[in-house]
């Protein structure tokens, strides 16, 4: 019993550490992409090389307060506990630290515990924990920026196909392949139908790739459940924002977070009752 407790504690701790890393990715990856796009535009306009700038990537600079620049000490980087110890504020400028930081750490720990509880100490458990971690990251980035970076969505598609080919997921390779194809084509079709009828773009191409990734991991039979869950929760989320008067001025709500939620739902709970599930 004691050994089991230590094992589950280690799995949860691993999830917390990964969640802390995900917070870094969520904050920095969109800024890295925006800097790359700005540099490309500047080069296209005048043909000049951009001046050297201070390195900014996932590793550099070190973790710091975005308001005052205070570099975090090791004790201020401990997942969840540091947030509680600091009472949700920077130790230097007392600026508020968002509640989402510990929430993402705890959510990641939860999916790690679920994955290893479901599949034991195995590569399958690690694969599903990685899948869920990617969904958490994409949901947060899309909610913040309306971006679903190719740097995450495309590897998620290929890793789903790889997991199926190696027997690490519960779907066969053919089911995963057609899940990726059908997921992409379905939202691509919806996009062009909506644009043709309204003249507006109802979603971004990142949504196509995300549903393709979900199809690769969960199989084509799960697509109907995924779309229904994402649509229902999306409508509910929009109504809640409207009731709280927090609806964006343009009325656009990113669809990615709801697709990610649907992916986590089907992963953990299976498809909606009465709808098909993938088979090996």
| Contact predicate 50/21, CB 8 Å | no
Whether a cis peptide bond, with omega within 30° of 0, leads into 61 is yes
Distance between CA atoms of 2 and 8, rounded to whole angstroms? 10
What is the pLDDT, as a whole number, of residue 248? 78
What is the pLDDT, as a whole number, of residue 38? 84
pLDDT digits (tens, 9 = 90+) for 67-116: 887 888 888 889 999 999 988 898 888 899 889 999 999 999 999 999 99
pLDDT digits (tens, 9 = 90+) for 219-256: 999 999 999 999 999 999 988 888 887 877 766 789 99
What is the pLDDT, as a whole number, of residue 45? 72
> Where do the structural domains in the chain lie, given as residue ranges?
1-121, 122-280
What is the pLDDT, as a whole number, of residue 137? 98
What is the pLDDT, as a whole number, of residue 22? 97
In this predicted structure, the answer to whether residue 130 has a pLDDT above a threshold of 70 is: yes
pTM of the model as a whole: 0.92
Interval 202-215 mean pLDDT:
93
More confident residue, 92 or 176: 176
In this predicted structure, the answer to whether residue 26 has a pLDDT above a threshold of 70 is: yes
Phi, psi torsion values for 20, nearest 5 degrees: -65, -40
Give, rounded to a whole angstrom, the gap between the first and last alpha carbons of the chain. 34
What is the pLDDT, as a whole number, of residue 113? 97
């Amino acid at each position: 019993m004691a050994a089991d407790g230590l094992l589950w504690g280690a799995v949860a701790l691993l999830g917390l550490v990964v969640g802390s890393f995900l917070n870094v990715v969520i904050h920095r990856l969109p800024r890295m992409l925006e800097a790359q796009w700005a540099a490309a535009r500047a080069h296209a306009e005048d043909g000049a090389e951009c001046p050297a700038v201070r390195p900014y990537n996932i590793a550099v600079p070190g973790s710091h307060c975005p308001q005052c620049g205070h570099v975090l000490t090791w004790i201020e980087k401990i997942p969840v506990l540091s947030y509680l110890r600091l009472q949700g504020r920077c130790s230097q400028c007392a600026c508020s630290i968002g509640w989402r930081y510990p929430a993402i750490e705890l959510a990641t720990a939860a999916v790690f515990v679920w994955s290893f509880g479901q599949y034991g100490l195995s590569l399958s458990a690690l694969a599903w924990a990685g899948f869920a971690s990617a969904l958490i990251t994409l949901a947060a980035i899309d909610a913040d920026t309306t971006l679903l970076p190719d740097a995450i969505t495309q590897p998620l598609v290929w890793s789903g196909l790889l997991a199926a080919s190696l027997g690490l997921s519960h779907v066969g390779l053919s089911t995963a392949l057609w899940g990726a194809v059908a997921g992409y084509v379905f939202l691509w079709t919806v996009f062009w139908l909506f644009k043709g009828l309204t003249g507006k773009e109802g979603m971004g191409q990142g949504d196509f790739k995300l549903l393709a990734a979900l199809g690769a991991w969960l199989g084509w039979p799960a697509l109907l459940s995924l779309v229904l869950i994402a649509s229902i929760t999306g409508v509910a989320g929009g109504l809640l924002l409207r009731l709280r008067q927090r609806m964006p001025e343009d009325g656009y709500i990113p669809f990615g977070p709801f697709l990610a939620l649907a992916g986590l739902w089907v992963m953990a709970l299976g498809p909606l009752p009465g709808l098909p599930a993938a088979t090996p």
